[in-house]
A = this chain, B = another copy of it.
Amino acid sequence: MTDHPSRAGASPFRQLSRRSVLAGATASAVVPVTAMNGVPAAAAPAKRGDTRRITMYAEELPNGLIGYGTSPGEATVPGPVLEMWEGDTLEIELVNNTDRKLSIHPHGVDYDVDSDGTPLNASVNEPGQRRTYVWHSHGPYKAKGNRWMPGSAGYWHYHDHAMGTPHGTEGINKGLYGALIVRRKGDVLPDRRFTVVFNGMTINNRTAPDAPLFRARLGERVEFVAIGQGDLFHTFHMHAHRWTDNRTGMLEGPHDTSPSIDNKDLNPGSSFGFQVIAGDGVGPGAWMYHCHVQFHSDQGMAGIFLVLNEDGSVPEGAQAALDRYRDQG
């Protein structure tokens, strides 16, 4: 399940064995707080209000990419999913193993100026430097005027804000970004989770036929975190699956007035997330996800969400579809 450009030698769409495509994935050891694409963190904190400390490494990767990782030599594009519960604090010691100035800047959570991750506030890592960034989160609370101010829960993201320009344009372009999820007590956890970043004309800095291949079994609860970066506008579309356009992607109840959608603007700096039941009502198969800007999908902003049979085998016809995808690209 390593779909990252720095790791995948061959296209992920080459012949799949009919069984065990996901074997081992759910049993993978995962570091607390963070997780790779498709493998949720095993140990999301059971109670809220924890303070946890992790180390992250910014490293150069092949093909001119730069990524974040939680161990030396393990950087990926996108970086690991960081996950918190409302009330948690996350202390990130960022190790800059590159020869460029860079930083980590989060969306959604609380941080003081020293953790802003900007040249403006002189809170960046010089080449080779270690530096700690502290992110707090909180639940909804009543402010003066007896009004409820929003909590931190959301599908957020983090990214460099220092390389190349004061806004990190070069760092983002090269892959310094990842998903940040803050959950509210009671939020349902997915069986599987994927990060999809529309960055420039790429998906996770890749294009068809090498765009990310996401795999889940029929009936699994799958969470997508969609993030926009770069200079272009995009719309994220998924075939045969839809979600509610609210905080969680699910209805609060049958009277929730939020619209159901399957296509949503995904522009620079924005992010959203949602959960679907893989293949529910539509069956297994190779389902496309893509930018719906025609010119972008034609240029390679299209990938596959492969819904396997319940037993993990590849459904009828899916390999042929994957072959066509690879050949079209």
Shortest CB-to-CB span from A125 to chain B, Å, is 17
**B-contact bits for A126-151, CB 8 A (1 contact / 0 none):** 00000000001011100111011111
Given contacts A143-B280, A240-B110, A268-B294, contact A152 B260 (CB under 8 A): yes
Give Cα A320–Cα B118 distance, bound, in whole angstroms.
13
Shortest CB-to-CB span from A182 to chain B, Å, is 9
On chain B, the residues within 8 Å of A139 by CB distance are 254
Given contacts A256-B148, A281-B136, contact A239 B116 (CB under 8 A): yes
**B-contact bits for A248-263, CB 8 A (1 contact / 0 none):** 1011111111111111
**B-contact bits for A184-204, CB 8 A (1 contact / 0 none):** 000010000000000000000
Contact B285 A112 (CB under 8 A): yes
- Selecting from A17-25, A55-63, A295-303, the interface stretch reads A295-303
Given contacts A282-B111, A325-B120, contact A295 B260 (CB under 8 A): no
Q: Chain A at the B interface: mostly helix, strand, loop or mixed?
A: loop
Contact B143 A221 (CB under 8 A): yes
On chain B, the residues within 8 Å of A107 by CB distance are 237, 262-263
Give Cα A122–Cα B286 distance, bound, in whole angstroms.
11
Contact residue among B116, B262, B293, B325 (Cβ-Cβ distance under 8 Å from A268): B293
Contact B167 A260 (CB under 8 A): no
On chain B, the residues within 8 Å of A148 by CB distance are 250-254, 256
Tell yes or no: A309 within 8 A of B by CB: no
Tell yes or no: A71 within 8 A of B by CB: no
Q: Which of A119, A237, A293, A297 has the most CB of B within 10 A?
A: A293
Given contacts A148-B250, A169-B298, A280-B143, contact A231 B293 (CB under 8 A): yes
**B-contact bits for A283-295, CB 8 A (1 contact / 0 none):** 1011110101111
Tell yes or no: A154 within 8 A of B by CB: yes
Given contacts A111-B240, A154-B259, contact A121 B247 (CB under 8 A): no
CB proximity to B under 8 Å, residues A178-226:
188, 221
How big is the A interface, by class? 35 or more
On chain B, the residues within 8 Å of A7 by CB distance are none
In the complex, the chain B residue whose C-beta lies closest to that of A320 is B122
Given contacts A110-B240, A165-B294, contact A252 B260 (CB under 8 A): no
Given contacts A255-B252, A321-B120, contact A243 B150 (CB under 8 A): yes
**B-contact bits for A56-94, CB 8 A (1 contact / 0 none):** 000000000000000000000000000000000000000
Contact residue among B149, B151, B248, B267 (Cβ-Cβ distance under 8 Å from A257): B248
Contact B302 A167 (CB under 8 A): yes
- Can you pick out 17 interface pairs between chain A and chain B where the beta carbons lie within 8 Å of each other? A119-B328, A120-B324, A138-B281, A143-B277, A144-B277, A147-B275, A148-B250, A148-B252, A148-B253, A149-B276, A149-B277, A151-B260, A165-B294, A167-B294, A169-B295, A169-B298, A230-B294
